Amino acid sequence: MNPAKRLAIFDRLKLAIPEPTTELEYSSPFELLIAVVLSAQATDKGVNKATRLLFAAANTPEAILELGLPSLKGYIKTIGLFNTKAENIIKLCQQLLDHHHGQVPNTREDLEALAGVGRKTANVMLNTAFGQPTIAVDTHIFRVANRTGLALGTNVLQVELKLDKSTPKHHKKDAHHLLILHGRYTCIARKPRCLSCVIGDLCEFKGKLL
């Protein structure tokens, strides 16, 4: 894809979604971190439903540790893989207290050292909590990038690196959320809504309905 078409795609997405942001509910970097850890293989809607109750009871590392593992599991039991996620959350809370004075770190190395935090979660935190121009490739972004031709790749790391290199600089901070929201509501997995797509004429998807 040539740079002019790539720029036009991001320009149109930004016009259609002027204030792109996460749909996870949070009021601090710590709350966002917990929500993102919980969101793996889960919907934002399901995570928000659980965290509204959890954060009302405990929304700091100290409070969650005081809550304890059994009670934490009770709050998040509606979320997939909740047993493993609860164990990781308890561990990362202790790590935050032991190594970061209870604060969420703002470097990739420190974030990825936390229990349950991989590259994608670290990228989300760096972008959404700390305003860094990172792109966390989830299933939506992977699909949109490959369908449109923005960044072709057979795995999420390939797509991330290509997007990181080719996304217009002034769109880089918002690219993550622009692509997620476009994939969530327009370029959906089955029967993409090509007829109402703002970038339909720029897209390289062979099966588009135009």
Q: Which residues are catalytic?
A: 120, 138
Q: Is the dihedral of CA 118, 13, 199, 175 positive or negative?
A: negative
Look up residue 106 and give its amino acid: N
Whole-number Å distance between alpha carbons of 201 and 210: 8
Look up residue 187 and give its amino acid: C
Q: Which long-range contacts (CB under 8 A, 24 or more apart) does 79-87 make?
A: 79/38, 79/42, 79/46, 79/47, 79/50, 80/41, 80/42, 81/40, 81/41, 84/116, 85/37, 85/38, 85/40, 85/116, 87/115
